[in-house]
């Protein structure tokens, strides 16, 4: 081949590749994402329906008392639970005696202290109140309520969400099936009322509440990589506390525009299902959300509102195909509660799972039991995931893009990830000497 031929071939090839890319861009459903806020990387595709289907005949609202937190004693057995708690206490004392890094007094104090803001809220309580706290409403200001078009409103909401600490934000039509049927023993019902309220008998969401804002908050990977220790628990609890601030601030902001808002973290409904609908990520092997930017190292929360908003679409970045071959989370899980199945299925593992949607269902009581066993919770499945990466080197972005576009390379990338030693546990002792950024997170990550 001479130089002229090479140039022809090269330019032709480049043109072909670019043409294909542009063409495929046209074929994709148009993204409703506005400006730079919450826009995913170029290799993330918008799709019309989430990749893992819902069986409309089966999928229904979940009674939160069936969750592993609500019925652990029933699933695990009272006698077993007593023994487990005793073992946990003995281990805690033993770890203190051994002065084991990650389980020392200072580590546990940090994990507890990081909960402090999260503990200010609960379903319709404190920071998660369903009604106005102190923001001045347009009515009191003597002006009309906010009434620009939904696109502008979405931009506003996403900017405010980012300002209050969201890593990503997306908007979906509220699928009522994602809302729990019962919370704290009371039914959650939808009624034609103007404001949400609660009485002795029920929790009431207004019919006009049609939009769900899915929000993610980054967790510190430096903390999570010390899992399972109290340092990694501090990463989770800090995530929850930041969720609390985020939903409280965003709900008040919406009320300040003249609309109703219901802030929620893990209560009220499935944040994961809403986040999938709102295009924040895909459901992974852990049966939790995995985002293209931060992997599973995020906490989720949501705000429900009647403010008309432009909608986002679910996304596809090749995660389903990757999870099928990877299985590292299932391998690393000390309680062996995650599925090793090649394919996701509709078959649930127990009452704690909400049936009617395809997923890799987890054996939640095993997971929760290990939290007690380890004495400080566990989040090993998060840092070991090959999608959990800091973005200090462009190789990660390149691999993620290639994995999204060419699933045939997934096996190679997985092998390389292992060879390069990613996902190994880090020292909890050294964590105290890291020069960490604010909240332990890099707020520039995923912003291009």
Site residues (vs another protein, CB under 8 A): 2-3, 6, 222, 389-390, 392-395, 419-422, 424, 426, 434
Closer CB to another protein, 23 or 393, in the complex: 393
Q: Please classify residue 17 by burial: count the beta carbons closer than 10 Å to its beta carbon, then call 0-12 exposed, 13-18 middle and 19+ buried.
A: exposed
Q: Please classify residue 302 by burial: count the beta carbons closer than 10 Å to its beta carbon, then call 0-12 exposed, 13-18 middle and 19+ buried.
A: buried
Shortest Cβ 238–another protein spacing (Å): 19
Q: Measure the CA angle with vertex 429, ends 424 and 434; round to 5°.
A: 85
Shortest Cβ 421–another protein spacing (Å): 3
Q: Measure the CA angle with vertex 239, ends 150 and 190; round to 5°.
A: 45
Closer CB to another protein, 3 or 57, in the complex: 3
Q: How many CB atoms lie within 10 A of CB 275?
A: 29
Shortest Cβ 392–another protein spacing (Å): 4
Shortest Cβ 447–another protein spacing (Å): 16
Closer CB to another protein, 148 or 390, in the complex: 390
Closer CB to another protein, 82 or 447, in the complex: 447
Closer CB to another protein, 6 or 69, in the complex: 6
Shortest Cβ 49–another protein spacing (Å): 36
Shortest Cβ 383–another protein spacing (Å): 11
Q: How many CB atoms lie within 10 A of CB 189?
A: 12
Closer CB to another protein, 134 or 420, in the complex: 420
Shortest Cβ 387–another protein spacing (Å): 15
Shortest Cβ 396–another protein spacing (Å): 8
Closer CB to another protein, 117 or 231, in the complex: 231
Closer CB to another protein, 189 or 434, in the complex: 434
Please state the length of the chain: 448
């Amino acid at each position: 081949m001479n130089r002229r031929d090479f140039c022809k071939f090269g330019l032709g090839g480049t043109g072909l590749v670019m043409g294909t890319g542009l063409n495929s861009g046209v074929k994709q459903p148009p993204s409703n994402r506005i400006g730079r806020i919450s826009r995913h990387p170029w290799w993330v595709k918008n799709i019309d329906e989430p990749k893992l289907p819902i069986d409309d005949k089966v999928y229904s609202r979940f009674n939160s008392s069936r969750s592993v937190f609500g019925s652990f004693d029933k699933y695990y057995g009272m006698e077993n639970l007593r023994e487990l708690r005793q073992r946990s206490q003995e281990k805690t004392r033993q770890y203190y005696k051994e002065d084991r890094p990650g389980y020392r007094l200072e580590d546990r104090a940090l994990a507890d202290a990081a909960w402090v803001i999260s503990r200010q809220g609960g379903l319709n309580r404190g920071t998660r109140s369903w009604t106005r706290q102190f923001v001045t409403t347009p009515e009191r200001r003597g002006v009309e309520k906010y009434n620009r078009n939904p696109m502008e409103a979405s931009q506003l909401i996403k900017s405010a969400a980012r300002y209050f600490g969201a890593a990503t934000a997306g908007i979906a039509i509220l699928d009522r099936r994602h809302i729990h049927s019962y919370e704290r023993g009371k039914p959650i019902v939808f009624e034609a009322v103007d404001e949400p309220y609660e009485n002795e008998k029920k929790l009431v969401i207004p019919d006009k509440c049609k939009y769900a804002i899915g929000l993610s908050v980054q967790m510190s990977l430096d903390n999570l990589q010390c899992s399972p220790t109290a340092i990694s628990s501090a990463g989770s609890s800090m995530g929850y506390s930041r969720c609390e601030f985020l939903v409280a601030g965003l709900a008040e902001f919406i009320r300040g525009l003249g609309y109703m808002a219901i802030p929620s973290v893990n209560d009220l409904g499935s944040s994961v299902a809403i986040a999938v609908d709102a295009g924040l990520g895909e459901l992974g092997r852990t049966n939790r959300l995995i985002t293209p930017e931060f992997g599973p190292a995020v906490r989720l929360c949501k705000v429900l509102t009647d403010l008309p908003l432009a909608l986002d679409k679910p996304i596809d970045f090749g995660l389903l195909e990757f999870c099928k071959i990877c299985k590292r989370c299932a391998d690393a899980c000390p309680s062996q509660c995650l599925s090793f199945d090649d394919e996701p299925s509709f078959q649930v593992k127990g009452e704690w799972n909400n049936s009617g949607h395809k997923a890799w269902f987890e054996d939640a009581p095993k997971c929760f039991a290990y939290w007690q066993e380890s004495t400080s919770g566990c989040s090993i499945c998060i840092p070991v995931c090959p999608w959990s990466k800091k973005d200090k080197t462009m190789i990660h972005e390149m691999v993620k893009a290639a994995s999204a576009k060419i699933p045939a390379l997934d096996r190679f990338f997985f092998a390389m990830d292992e060879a390069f030693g990613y996902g190994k546990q880090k020292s909890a002792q050294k964590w105290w000497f890291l020069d960490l950024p604010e909240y332990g997170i890099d707020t520039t990550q995923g912003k291009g």
